[in-house]
């Protein structure tokens, strides 16, 4: 009934060419300080911040953002520090440790304006990191009475997402390198985390791992201890926000481990089956770990993986392994345990010579950073060029939900309407929506069947149809929002709404 007064347009059609939207480095240091040569359980926990572990060095972040123009950092931390073993994995945090993580995240995202991946560096294990990656109970392993449950893992992610729900530059990296476990359990844990994150109203990008160290080369392989192949089950992972990508690691040495100095596996060959799988199932991926030694033999392999990602639209970003404040002359990968330094700016080799930052990052990686395509604003997304706006509107106290009311701009017999107690509040029914999306004048918010429609003056190219309501609206409208989503015409901009914990915020994702 409103179609004659509405104009629907698709915002920012997708680009035909592939683009990398996020590029940077992994910041390794928050997981330090717990290795015990005798596998002493609890060794180094909780540890002392700045002595045993540290997440970032702000000066290093400054160099990467200000000089190298990268926009992504992956920050590692340990579950056992954030969720002490004494209280267990779940929603009870060490507030001291959380504040340390939050400081690092805020510096990256709020101070420097870059994006930050939260990286629980636990290999899908919890309770004993003394000899990672092999120690600790597998999360969700029902045969192990000491193991944290899948539900606890979901509760952990729900709490962490709740705390970062309003930081649009956070990316939720569900887990570092699950391995030697049933792939169906990886899927179950990933799904529990996704569901818990979305239940908070958080709409930021989620990156989920597969099994087998989440290796890209092994994605389609079924081998003992990591069965079935990730490709056989991970396509079942679902995200109601449709803002999910897979988290892939890919090293270039002979066994893909990142422990050898020679490069022998071209990513363009090794990743081909994964790329085909991503294309088949319409998924995106980030490669959040890869690396190389400082030998000239590896230069062509580094350019190969970076160019391969840039040439294939299935890949949206990458972080090289690794920078971090505590590496000193030690090397995070790819050097046969020789001390060539790290990707941390200013890093030096043990002999005082140039470190990997100079010989690998500046010489081999920096020239291939697609600085012109990197995004610096908006909520983290697997398709930032297509998601014109991610924002939120808050429901102020003078708003009510009702099938109709005296201030309803359509009047008696109209579809359900959001209305305020005054004309002024009605005119601002969308609260603090980003003004670039909707003009301040001539707008109202209507509920029609299972759609939310912004009504504008004829010819105004701003209409949003939502195919789903948040739980809050469902409660207030007496179940009307539980109606299954309807098909939205392809010329509209679709939007989805979820419940936030306090019941007062409905967040909206706008995508073509």
Q: Please write the tens of the pLDDT for every residue from 206-233.
A: 999 999 999 999 999 998 999 999 999 9
Confidence (pLDDT) at 17: 56
The total number of structural domains that make up the chain:
2
If asked whether residues 364 and 476 sit together in one domain, one would say no
| C-alpha closest to that of 181 among 138, 241, 236 | 138
Contacts of 290 (CB under 8 A, 6+ apart): 249, 250, 251, 252, 258, 267, 305, 318, 320, 321
User: In this predicted structure, what is the pLDDT of residue 492?
Assistant: 31
Tokens matching residue 492: 């509209």
- Out of 368, 401, 431, a domain closes at 368
Q: How far apart are CA 44 and CA 33, in angstroms?
A: 6
User: Is 380 within a domain?
Assistant: no
The pLDDT, as a whole number, for residue 348 is 97
Q: Are residues 332 and 469 in the same domain?
A: no
Strands (E), 278-411: 284-289, 315-323, 390-394, 399-402
The answer to whether residue 379 sits within a structural domain is no
Alpha carbon separation from 478 to 244, 270, 445 (Å, rounded): 31, 53, 18
Residue 244 CA to residue 287 CA, distance in Å, equals 14
Is residue 144 included in any domain, yes or no?
A: yes
In whole angstroms, give the CA distance from residue 363 to residue 369.
11
Instruction: With H, G, I as helix, E, B as strand and everything else as coil, classify residue 76.
Output: strand
Q: Which of 250, 289, 313, 344 is catalytic?
A: 289
Asked if residue 445 and residue 393 are part of one domain, the reply reads: yes
Which residues of the chain fall below pLDDT 70? Answer: 1-17, 385-512
Cα–Cα distance, 290 to 302 (Å, whole number): 9
Is position 347 within any domain? yes
| Catalytic (active site) residue 177 | yes
Q: Are residues 329 and 474 in the same domain?
A: no
Nearest to 306 by CA among 250, 375, 231: 250
How many H-runs (helices) and E-runs (strands) does the chain carry? Answer: 12, 18
Q: What is the pLDDT of residue 83?
A: 99
Task: Give Cα separations from 346 to 61, 286, 293, 371, 397 (angstroms).
Answer: 12, 27, 17, 22, 53
> In terms of residue numbers, what domain contains 304?
22-368
Q: Are residues 393 and 279 in the same domain?
A: no
Question: Is residue 376, in this structure, part of any structural domain at all?
Answer: no
* Cis omega (within 30 of 0) for bond into 395: no
pLDDT digits (tens, 9 = 90+) for 456-465: 323 333 333 2
Measured in degrees and rounded to the nearest 5, phi and psi for residue 214 equal 50, 35
The 3-class SS string of 203-217 reads: CCCEEEECCHHHECC
The span from the CA of 464 to the CA of 479, in Å, is 22
> Hey, how many other C-beta atoms are within 10 angstroms of the C-beta on 263?
24
DSSP code, position 354:
B
Kindly state whether residues 219 and 274 are assigned to the same domain: yes
- Say whether both 204 and 254 belong to one domain: yes
In a domain, 286, yes or no: yes
Query: Considering 368, 399, 431, which residue would you say is the last residue of a domain?
Result: 368
Whether 77 is covered by a domain: the verdict is yes
Per-residue CA distances from 161 to 91, 152, 170 (Å): 11, 14, 9
CATH of the domain at 331: 3.20.20.80
Whether residue 361 lies inside any domain: the answer is: yes
**Do 486 and 394 share a domain, yes or no?**
yes
Q: Which of 177, 313, 344, 463 is catalytic?
A: 177
Q: pTM value?
A: 0.76
* Residue 276: strand, helix, or coil: helix
Shared domain for 364 and 393, answered yes or no, is no
Active site residue 159: no
Tell how strand 125-126 and strand 137-138 pair up.
antiparallel
**Domain co-membership, 157 together with 201:** yes
Question: Are 93 and 210 contained in the same domain?
Answer: yes
Together in a domain, 358 and 399: no
Is cis: bond before 322, omega within 30 of 0?
yes
pLDDT at 294: 87
């Amino acid at each position: 009934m409103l179609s004659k007064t509405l104009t629907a347009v698709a915002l920012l059609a997708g680009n035909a060419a592939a683009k990398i939207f996020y590029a940077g480095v992994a910041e390794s240091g928050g997981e330090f300080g717990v290795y015990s040569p005798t596998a002493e359980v609890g060794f180094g926990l909780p540890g002392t911040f700045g002595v045993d572990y540290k997440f970032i060095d702000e000066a290093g972040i400054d160099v990467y953002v200000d000089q190298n123009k990268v926009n992504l950092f992956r920050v590692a931390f340990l579950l056992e520090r954030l969720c002490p073993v004494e209280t267990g994995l779940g929603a009870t945090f060490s507030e001291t440790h959380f504040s340390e993580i939050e400081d690092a995240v805020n510096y990256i995202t709020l101070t420097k304006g870059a994006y930050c991946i939260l990286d629980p560096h636990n290999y899908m294990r919890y309770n004993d990191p003394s000899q990672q990656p092999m120690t600790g109970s597998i999360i969700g392993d029902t045969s192990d009475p000491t193991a944290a449950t899948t539900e606890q893992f979901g509760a952990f992610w729900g709490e962490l997402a709740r705390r970062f729900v309003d930081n649009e530059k956070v990316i939720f990296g569900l887990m570092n390198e699950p391995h030697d476990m049933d792939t169906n359990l990886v899927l179950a844990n990933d799904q529990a985390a996704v569901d818990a994150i979305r239940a908070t109203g958080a709409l930021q990008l989620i990156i989920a791992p597969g099994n087998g160290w989440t290796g890209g080369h092994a994605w389609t392989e079924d081998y003992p201890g990591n069965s079935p192949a990730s490709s056989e089950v991970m396509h079942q992972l679902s995200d109601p926000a449709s803002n999910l990508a897979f988290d892939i690691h890919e090293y270039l040495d002979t066994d893909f481990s990142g422990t050898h100095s020679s490069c022998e596996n071209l990513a363009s060959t090794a990743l081909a089956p994964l790329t085909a799988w991503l294309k088949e199932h319409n998924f995106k991926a980030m490669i959040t770990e890869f690396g190389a030694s400082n030998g000239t033999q590896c230069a062509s392999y580094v350019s190969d993986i970076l160019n391969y990602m840039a040439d294939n639209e299935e890949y949206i970003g990458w972080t090289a392994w690794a920078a971090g404040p505590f590496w000193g002359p030690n090397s995070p990968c790819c050097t046969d345990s020789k001390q060539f330094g790290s990707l941390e700016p200013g890093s030096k080799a043990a002999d005082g010579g140039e470190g990997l930052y100079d010989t690998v990052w500046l010489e081999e990686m920096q020239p291939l950073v697609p600085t012109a395509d990197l995004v610096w604003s908006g909520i983290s997304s697997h398709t930032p060029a297509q998601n014109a706006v991610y924002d939120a509107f808050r429901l102020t106290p003078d708003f009510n939900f009702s099938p109709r009311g005296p201030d309803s701009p359509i009047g008696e017999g109209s579809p359900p309407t959001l209305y305020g107690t005054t004309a002024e509040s009605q005119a601002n029914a969308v609260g603090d929506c980003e003004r670039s999306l909707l003009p301040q004048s001539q707008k109202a918010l209507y509920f029609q069947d299972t759609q939310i429609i912004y009504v504008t003056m004829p010819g105004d190219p701003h209409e949003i149809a939502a195919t789903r309501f948040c739980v809050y609206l469902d409660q207030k409208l007496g179940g009307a929002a539980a109606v299954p989503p309807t098909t939205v015409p392809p010329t509209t901009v679709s939007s989805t709404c979820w419940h936030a914990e306090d019941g007062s915020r409905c967040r909206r994702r706008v995508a073509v």
